[in-house]
Amino acid sequence: MNGHRSGKRPLLAAALALLYPGLGHLYLREWLRALTWFGLTFATVAIALPASAIPETSAGFSLDAVMQASEALPMEAEIAIFVLFVLNTIDAYRIARGSRTKQSTVADGKQRCPNCGRETDADLEFCQWCTEPLAADE
């Protein structure tokens, strides 16, 4: 039985979160958290990036302009953005991994599958929805 509650891959969620904060949460369908991480990243960059770091280019937005801006970032801004990426990645991984005990609890006398979280038939030894075996002591 896989150890994560949603069937989503924790390492994939973490990798997407490293690409850009919030992508891992989109993969997990955690819409509000994804929006929060997107907004927090945008706000951090907007606050931490000094106007002097943005190069004057006549061509507008280009990869060269982005590279020049990233090279001109002060150390405090780099640390803030790095911490944001790390916290976002940990959060996405933790959510994807989930808590097996949370999903396998018996609520209102109904057993739930630790894998998919759906209600299961108490007479069966496996989940009729995802076919994962149910542990006898959960």
Please count the other Cβ atoms lying within 10 Å of the Cβ belonging to residue 94: 13
Sign (positive or negative) of CA dihedral 68, 72, 77, 79: positive
Sign (positive or negative) of CA dihedral 105, 110, 112, 118: negative
**CA 62 – CA 124 distance, rounded (Å):** 59
Mean pLDDT of the chain: 79
**CA 133 – CA 50 distance, rounded (Å):** 56
Percent of the chain with pLDDT over 90: 30
- 126 pairs with which residues across the strands? 133
Residue 112 φ then ψ, to 5°? -115, 145
pTM of the predicted model as reported, rounded to 2 decimal places: 0.61
Q: Is pLDDT at 93 greater than 80 in this prediction?
A: yes
**What string of DSSP letters covers 3-61?**
S-SSS--HHHHHHHHHHSTTHHHHHTT-HHHHHHHHHHHHHHHHHHS-GGGS---SS-S
pLDDT band at residue 133, thresholds of 50, 70 and 90? confident
- pLDDT tens per residue across span 29-74: 899 999 999 999 889 888 887 777 776 765 567 777 777 777 878 8
